[in-house]
Amino acid sequence: MPKIVINRTQKTAQYYVENLGKGIELEMVLIPAGSFVMGSPEDELERSNSESPQHRVNINEFCMGKYPVTQAQWRAVAAMSQVNREFDPDPSNFKGANRPVERVSWYDAVEFCDRLSSHTKRQYRLPSEAEWEYACRAGTTTPFHFGETITSELANYNANYTYGAGVKGTYREQTTEVGSFGVANTFGLYDMHGNVWEWCLDDWHDNYEGAPTDGRAWFHDNNDNISQKKGRAVLRGGSWNVNPMLCRSASRDSNNGAERAFIYDDDGFRVVCAFGSTLHRESRQVGICP
């Protein structure tokens, strides 16, 4: 059986830490401003037409959660004052303080951001779809931020299936603790491929015809009251139980699972903030599959 060679290198990232109380922290990584080509090229293996047309997007600087929101972070914010709606402080099927929270609807994720914003006096929200893909790619143009294929040594997905020249691996059949593979992308983000699907702020669109080019969330109508929006949103990144093709940087969930009110065992999220506290530096490993 062929083997995939994984190269690892050290990089540095800037970040700040939000204290959620009782020793629970939320690490936020600085994502630098830049531009990128969003979507997949027509020759990318197992792509979808929803990833077209490719288009250049300009992104302003922002901060993004180093990991998907964990169950410990979710419980900490659940204890904060309600803004628009109640939510379950312990919704996850796969229990563990450092596992990503799952079984979270889009509305619950928005309420989490609203409570966190009210508590910290900083504006937290879900990422736009463009911000999510830009942050995931971290300057790369390959199907995955670590290269042309994916391996279960680098991510949590259904590794009974392969992508491109990849090989079968371990199908864990559940979530894993965030950051447990020890590999980040160039921006310093972990678990962007697999583990849990991640909610984005945007309304669902069948393709990128007419998509904004400034990185903002793309809505069908007035967005004055985000918490009351209806219909499908966007999920990104794939999850522990899906084929690796759905974990690509450009992949977009287009099934009923993206209905805002639906709850599944593989839906989570991470947050963004337009500005933060004093930034620190850290060193971490980047993995690359040739």
Digit-coded pLDDT (tens) for 43-68: 999 999 999 999 999 999 999 999 99
- Segment 151-164 shows an average pLDDT of 97
Domain count, the chain: 1
pLDDT in tens, 171-229: 999 999 999 999 999 999 999 999 999 999 999 999 999 999 999 999 987 666 788 88
Domain with 12 in it: 7-288
Model pLDDT, residue 276: 54
State how far the Cα of 12 lies from the Cα of 282, in Å rounded to an integer.
Answer: 5
Helix, strand or coil, per DSSP, at residue 131: helix
In a domain? residue 166: yes
**Sign of the C-alpha dihedral computed for residues 89, 95, 96 and 98 taken in this order:** negative
In a domain? residue 67: yes
In a domain? residue 1: no
Beta sheet of 124-125, edge-to-edge order:
124-125, 272-273, 62-65, 24-31, 7-21, 280-288
| Geometric angle at alpha carbon 157, from 127 and 253, rounded to 5° | 45
Q: Please state the pTM of the whole predicted model.
A: 0.92
Q: Considering the chain, what is the average pLDDT of its residues?
A: 91
Q: What region, left, alpha or beta, does residue 201 occupy, with left being phi > 0 and alpha being psi -120 to 50 degrees?
A: alpha
**Residue 4: pLDDT above 80?**
no
CA end-to-end span of the chain, whole Å?
17
Model pLDDT, residue 278: 55
Using the structure block, give the residue that is written with the tokens 């463009």.
130
CA nearest to 131, candidates 219, 41, 31, 40: 31
Give me the residues paired with residue 21 across strands.
Answer: 24
In a domain? residue 281: yes
Residues 6 or more apart whose Cβ sits within 8 Å of residue 228? none
In a domain? residue 138: yes
pLDDT in tens, 243-285: 999 999 999 986 655 788 888 889 999 999 986 555 556 555 5
Give φ, ψ of 130 to 5 degrees.
-65, -45
Q: Are strands 280-288 and 55-59 parallel, antiparallel or unpaired?
A: unpaired
**Residue 5: pLDDT above 50?**
no
How many CB atoms are closer than 10 A to CB 236?
A: 28
**CATH code: domain of residue 106:** 3.90.1580.10
Helix, strand or coil, per DSSP, at residue 258: helix
Residues 6 or more apart whose Cβ sits within 8 Å of residue 235? 197, 198, 199, 200, 252, 253, 257, 258, 267
